[in-house]
Every structure is written in structure tokens, then in C-alpha cells.
Structure 1
Amino acid sequence: MHHHYGKRHILRGVSLQAEPGEVLCLLGPSGSGKTTLLRIAAGIETQTSGRLVLNEREISGPDLSLPPEKRGIGLMFQDFALFPHLTIIDNVRFGLTQLSRKDGRGEAMVALERVGMAHHAMSYPHLLSGGEQQRVALARALAPRPGVLLMDEPFSGLDSRLKDAVRIETLAILREARATAIVVTHDAEEAMRLGDRIALLRNGQLVQTGTAEDLYHRPADLFAAGFFSEINVFASEVHDGMAMTPLGPVKSPDIAERAAVSVAVRHSGVGVVEAGKGSPARIVARRFLGMEEHVTLAVPDGGDRVEARVRAGDVPAGAREVGLVVNEKDILVFES
């Protein structure tokens, strides 16, 4: 699929498939094309070229573009978009236009019961908390029983303390409803918590698709590695199957001799130990983060700084001269 806004090429050959009952997360930074892809799927915009197929039926292509209400696709907005003048049950019933008033209210109540909000059926949106409004919006999106549910940054408006609980509830509801869902997010941790699979986008192109484990342990490139964890990046060159870094030599057996490489080392993979062990380093800054500390270190060559995340209390207060050790599982090598 391709899409343009004037001369701007927004989507560049993106091809994706969501399996029945799957939660697929579209992940990427601002401007990567995730929301545009969602709007095209919903029928709010029409792609420049390419096809959309739902349950083996083309819903948008060169010769056809069904309107949003005929696609069998539900859309849940990040601001929930509840009508303030309607009761909760009438908000949920709003999209059930093909049913009688009685049948529509019955289906709306079923949807509200599914999300645990039936007792608020006669309330108005302003009386509900953010998490409760989110559940009502989910009930409204699920009530017509869409073939696919699209969710655009559905948790971005929630208090950080509320997000985890609401994400867990939402995922449980989607599983219970056996809904196929496509969720847009810019938060890698959120994508890993929610998604059966993750599609990582950058500049309108698909970088990598797979499970959370695939993208974390086997990132396709340096961008993917940096999106899923904080990393130190060192420029190097391969000699005799090794790349030299401020943390010592790194095995690079599958890369050509003298090839330029970028060596990524996760902050969490750098251990700070007592002086005399590992590679020598000096602490130049440290920040207490509760369960962890973020430590910035200088190494003898005076070049690159090394960043580490360690368990709070593991590095003695006032320590300056230390050693560094690295977990090999947290080292990734990419050809530059």
C-alpha cells in the first residue's frame, strides 16, 4: 500500500495482515504513518494505491472503496469521543442504527455488561472517571460486533497510574470477545504488553514484524534495537571476527573483514562492579530512579561515554573508580 499527501510519500509499500482474534500493534514514532494506516483501514481516507481485504472481501482498492459504515470495522478514538448529552447506554447504542430501539438497547446493555459498566447505563460521561469512559468507548466500538476493531492511542489520555490496570482490562475484554484488533501506539512497552504481534514503522515503511520477543532479541536494525531498549552505540570496524569497543572486543563472526559496524549495548546489560574487575571506568554522573540507578561512566580512551542501568544500592555511594562487565545477550552488532 502507498499513500501520498500532495508530494509527500506517507506510506511506502506497507503490507500487513492481522489474523482472526489477534491483537496487532502498529508501533513507531510520530510521523511514521501508523495513524494514516489506521484512517485508511477505517475508510476515513483512501490510499493512493493498494488494496484492503477483510475476511477475503475487498473493501478498498483501485475500483472500489466502501464507506466507513459498510466496512464492518470499529474505530476507537484516543479521546473516547463520547457524546456528553447522551446517557452511557445511548452512547453505546449510537452505532446500532440498523436495530430497533428496543433491540439496540439490549445489545448496548450486553456490551456494557461485557466491560463491567452496566450499572452506569443511565449515567452521563462527565460523571465517569477516565478509565470508566475508556471502557464505555470500548463497549461502543464492540457493540456492532465489527470484523476488526481499530484503536488509535487508546490509553494516551489516561493517568500513568491508571494505564496498566486499564490495559489489562482492555486486553481481557478483547480476548473474551475474540476480537481482532489493530492498536496504534508510540510506546514500545505498551506494544509488548498488548500485542500478539508488533509491526514497527519508520518514515512510512515497515521495518519489522513479529512477536515482542522477536523484535527485542532479534531486531532488524539499529533503529529497531533502539526502539525497544535504551542502548549505547559504538562505531567500530571488524578485524579477525571482532569489533573493538570501549567495553572490550565484541564477537562479529558473520560480518565481513574490515566492514564498518555499529555495536549496540543495552544500558541494562552493563554491570558496574568494583575497581580491578572488568573494563576500567569512572563514574561521572548517577541518577536515582527508585528501583534502579542510571549511571554515566567515562572510559580510559576519553571518547564515548557509557550509560548503565543498575539496581539501586548495588554501586556504593561515593564510588568513583569502578569496573564494567557486559552481558553478551545485551550486545547487538549491525553493519553500518
Structure 2
Amino acid sequence: MFPHVRLRRLRRRKIIPLLAETHIGKDDLIAPLFFDENIAGPVPIQAMPGQNRWPVSMAGDVVIRLKSAGIRAVLLFGISSVKDAKASGAYAPDGVIQQVTRAMKQACPDMVIITDLCACEYTDHGHCGYVGECCDGPNLLNDASLEMMQRIAVSQAEAGADIVAPSCMLDGMVAAIREALDDYGHQEVLIMSYSSKFASALYGPFREAAGSGFSFGDRTGYQAPVSNRREAYRESEQDAAEGADILMVKPAGWFGDIITDIKQLGLPVAAYQVSGEYSMIRAAAEKGWLDERRVVMESLVSLKRAGADLIITYFAEDVCRWLDE
């Protein structure tokens, strides 16, 4: 008891780093990237200052720069020149993600390539699979869309993806994708499931970046309600049982309780610090209202403290530079 016990003794500036319980390192970080096959040069993303859409021709240059910074993994999103009801651009052998994956593998074989596995960027309606009439009107057709996800997964694996990351929140998606990958000889390709993905208001800037807005309705019919903790756990529990190698919580910052819950399933957990989280911090920093570096590092430490093993963040390259400094 006080005065013999003084916790403030542990908080001297030169002592704090020695006793830090939680650390952020470069190996914790995954950098998300947008590649657009309709452009010839980088295009700034207005809603995400500091981020760009990249042309396919620059895939090699981008991945080499990130590798030099110390980043070991990237998560790829594609903007296709083809959008139709079947999402054919998502599984075409020469699709945007397939081209970028092959180019990155050639330029930097050691980089871990993670491919977002969904259809919303490739469908003309912006939903994550086939759409038809359901009990409450037009909606995503679950079982028919699983076949589409299988086709996309195999195409991405054949292009060289190390990890496929299904984000469609379809029931049974992990089992269906695992079966397809195994049937086509891709047993070593990992599945990082967007297993607890919430119907969040924080995705707005991403939809501008990826061109994935929807033409009708919303995605509340397949993404988890932000209010439901037990349901989010069940989603990840089911994906774990179906063979997911890594689980994901998205968004990250406001869902630390879910990260802690999911950690108990015993699989590696990724936390996705989404576009809205990035844009809020970046905008406040540009106004001079926040110290960007301190806020970003604090946000990432909080995710690690909650139990995240991996953090997907648009600040990845900045964090590597700060760690070097």
C-alpha cells in the first residue's frame, strides 16, 4: 500500500519503454492498396488524403517501395474496367487483381499478397454476389453467390495470391472457398476471413476509393449489426469451424471488445482500421487539431492491446517511417 507502493515510479520517461506491455512492429502491419486498370498514373483519393488509386503498370514499383519500408504484406483491391451482374472481372484470368498479383510476385517474391475476395467492386449493382428476389425484396442470394466466390478464389490463387480474404459475409463462404481451393490444388493458400464485419458507417471513403457503392438498398442484410456482440462472435466461430486460417474484425477502433472476444477462438486475429477511421484522423491532423503520429500510434497500440495479431491500416507506410525514426 501507499506510501511503500508508488505506481508512479514505473512512469518515469526512461523507464516506460522498458516496461511497455504492448508493442507495435513492422511485422504487425498490412498495407491496403487500390489498383485501377482504367488509369495510366496515380489518382489521389479525395476522401482519403495521402492515398491513391494506382495503375496496374506501377504494381511492381509500389510493392518494392513498401518492402523497402519494412512492410511484409499487402491487401489488394481492384477497380475493374468491366462491371456486370456476374462480376466477371473478378475472376477473369487477366482481371485487375490477377495482373497486379503476378506483377508483384515477379517484382518482390517475398511479399505476402492478400487479395480481397468479393464482388462489390465488379458488379454493376454494387452488391457482393448475385442479386435476386428474396422474402423482403431484391437482396443478395447467399447460396448462388458462394459459387461465384469459389470461382474468384481459384482465379486469385492461380495468379499467385498467398492469402485470399473473403469479405462478402455469406453464410458458408469459408467452407465453400476452402473446398474449391483444395479441389484445384491450392491447399497451401490461406483464408483470412472478414469473419466479424459490421454494417458500419465508416466505409464511405472506401466506396469512393474502390468504386463499390451500391445502386439500391444497403448491405445490412449480410453485414453484422453494430449492436450485436454475441452475433459477431458466432460469425467468427462459424468461420473458424469451417477452416479459416485467420479471422478479422472490421472496423477496428470501435470494436475492441469484439477483437478480445474473437481472440479466444485460438486463431490469429486481424483488425482492419478502415477508411473512415483513417480519414477522420488525417482530416483532424490537417486541421491541426490532433497530433497525427501520436494518435495513430495510440490507436494501433489499442488494437494490439485488445488482442489483434495483425493490423490492416492505411497508415502502414507512415508507421514504418516513424518506427525508423
Q: TM-score, normalised by structure 2?
A: 0.31
Q: Which has the higher strand share?
A: 1
Bigger Rg, structure 1 or 2: 1
